Structures are given as C-alpha cells and as structure tokens.
Amino acid sequence: MAKKFDIPEIYKSDIIRRVKESRQILDPRKKDLAPVMVDFGPVRFLVPRHFGFCYGVENAIDIAYRTIAENPDKNIYLLSEMIHNPNVNRDLISRGVRFLFETSGKPIIQINSLNPDDIVIVPAFGTTLEIQKELESVGINPYQYDTTCPFVVKVWKRGSQLGKKENTLVIHGKHTHEETRATFSHSASVAAAVVVLNPEEAGILAEIMLEKRPLSDFDTYFGHKSTPGFDPLKDLEKFGVINQTTMLATETKEVMEIMRAAVAEKYGEEKVKEHFADTSDTLCYATNENQGATLGLLEAKADIALIVGGYNSSNTMHLVELLEQKFPSYHVKDATEIKSELEIHHFDQWQKKVLVSNNWLPDEPRPLTVAITSGASCPDVLVDEVILKVLSYFDETISVEKALEPFAEAG
C-alpha cells in the first residue's frame, strides 16, 4: 500500500482532488496519459493525468508540519526554501520557521549562532556535506528532521557506488540549484565530478573528451562547475551520468546518449560497458510521470495553457518549456497574478522576469479550452483557485458540482 501523508487542510483541493481520485479509480496502473476535460460550458479545462505534489514534496510537507506541531517551544529553522513554492514557504514563515540560507546559498543566519536544542529541517532538495558538518559542529543532528526526497537520495547512493568503483560523475543539472549543489557535494566526496546544463553542453564535453575541441574549452564551459583539477581526457575514461531529479527526463536521456556515443566512438561499441555506466534507472518516476502527462496535453487541442507554480521551480519551468511549443502559455505562481480577463502577470524563464500580457484571454472560440497543470511543488488548491478565477470572467458557466458530476459517477 502507498504511504499516506498528513497534508495540511490549507493545501487540499476540492476540484482537482475529485478529478484525480476519479482518474486513480479508472486507471490505477497509470497507463492512460491523456488529459480529461472538465466542462464548465463556455470554458473547458484540460486536466493532465499527473501533476502537482509528488511523493518527495508530500513527504517533506508531512515532516515539516509535524515537526512544527510537536515542538511548539523550540526555535525551528529551515536550511532554505523547503520546496520551490512561495505559498508553502510563506505559510511556514507565518508559523515561526526561519530560513538559514537564501536559495542561492547566501547565509541569512549563521549556523554557529544556533544551539543544540534548536531544530533544523533539511529541505526536499537535500544539502551539502559541508553544511551537514557545520550543523554537527554546533551539536545539531542534520538527519533528525531530514526531508530530503528519497529519489534524490537514490541518485546520491548510485553516485557513491559509481565513485567507489573509480567512475567520474557527470551531473545533468543547474549548477546553482540547491539540489545540484547538494548532489555535487556528495559526488565530489567520492569522485571527480562535472555539471552539464543541457544536451548542448554535453555535446561540448563530448567533443573535448574526443579531442575535437581544445582542452582550454573545458575551463571556459565547466571550470566553475567541476571538481578541482578535473582532467576531461583522464577523468572521462570511465564515468556515469546522474541528474538533478527535476530536470526533463527526456533531456537527461539525451545527455546520456550523447556521452555514451562519445564513449563508443573513442573506445568502440564493444567496450562501452567498460567505460560508461548505465544509470537510467535513477531517473525520478514522478518527474517522468508529470512530463509524460504534459506530453499527453500537447497531443490535445487547447487555446491557451496555464501553468501554476513557483517562479524558481525548475520542474515547473520545464513544463512551461514543453507547453509553450504548442500553446500560448502563461506561468503564474497563483491566481493573484491573473488581474482581469485583459491582464495577466506571468513569469518568462528566458528573460528571467515577470511580464505583463494584455488581452491574454481570447474572445474566441467558445467554448474556450484551457490546458492547465502545475509543478511538483504546487498545492492543488492553487490550481483550483486559478480555475475559479478564470471562470469568474465567463457568464452562464456550469456550477462546479455539475461540472464534476462525471467524475463522481466514475468514482
């Protein structure tokens, strides 16, 4: 039986919950990735098979809120944002939790100012070995209130196994992201390590390895995100690829294939296994499911797409990246960003800023079809609120209860 988590009522949804429960009953093996339609008359919403809180996020929220409830008289700190959702982090702060670091890693409160009775919660991204040692130096056990995602830990364990077998670790991720900083720290303790952002960078690394590019290119592209003294000609003789779990799984697979092809070219296909470790089983199942469901959305017909999630949420930005290939897409942190049927504030990850778009809600066609989804750190209730906000701009909509009747019948 799947583990049940205690999620605070404030994050529980009415609309999306009933849709998800119905889908779970009709498709318990999660084979059908096609979205379903919730029809409100003049506007319809396409809801994907998988989205929202994943196992790792639910686990982190369960631990954090239980810790707060059980320790009312203690100082409680989070190393940094527990997950990349501003609403969740704002609520934790309102309950007295304080952050020790910004998401960039810049200290807010010095660890050496803490005492052994203080509680420090490790976020879902995990943390570095260096910070773990700092906590231990002031008498705090970094593992007592550890919400690190189990799938992140799985990546670390595989990295450790490979490192102990003298493999270098190529990490697919954003080198400034908390999870990748943590993964790099754990990797660097057992092996040489380098971070690649995308398939393009993997191609550059492969060409350096094959001596099709000058060795100086390594310092240009990777010198700031590799272990000291990294030698691509020596250290890439034997290696494996691991990833930041929120990266596009399809991209990680592409990175793996690019690096594997370079190994085959250099050593011959028959010797690939001697030089390249297969780590495809470390890819996060929840990320895979959410991205697969988003590809299912792409196969449907919609007029616009709304993606709900934090503006520093890596997995949310990847969902936007997929959907904007086909639909006019708007990434909003919550319903407050929808100002009217004429104005919406939304995050553009390419320009790295919030944009204002006018006339975002098309006058035609009717019914209007809206594809809607959210990142793995976004509570479903925020998706409900976005749906209700959009509905408020239409006349003669079907009631929520009426629109959800097909899902009640399915359940």
Helix (H/G/I), strand (E/B), else coil: 239 = strand
The span from the CA of 152 to the CA of 224, in Å, is 23
* 179 phi/psi in degrees, rounded to 5: -65, -45
- Cα end-to-end distance, the chain, whole Å: 19
Q: 50 Cβ partners below 8 Å, 6+ apart?
A: 30, 33, 286, 289, 290, 292, 293
Nearest of 267, 278, 274, 262 to residue 202 by alpha carbon: 262
DSSP letters, 307-318, are EES-TT-HHHHH
Residue 199: asked if its preceding bond is cis (omega within 30°), the reply is: no
* Separation between Cα atoms, residue 294 and residue 289, nearest integer Å: 9
Distances in Å between the alpha carbon of 150 and those of 7, 53, 54, 188?
Answer: 18, 14, 11, 20
Cα 83 to Cα 61: distance, rounded to the nearest angstrom: 9
Quote the CA–CA distance of 47 and 14 in Å, as a whole number.
Answer: 14
Extended strands (E) in 9-103 = 36-39, 43-47, 76-78, 98-99
Give CB contacts under 8 A, 24+ apart, made by 26-32: 26/410, 30/289
The amino acid sitting at 241 is V
179 is catalytic: yes
Active-site entry in 81, 134, 179, 289:
179
Strand pairing partners for 345?
356
Which are the catalytic amino acids? 179
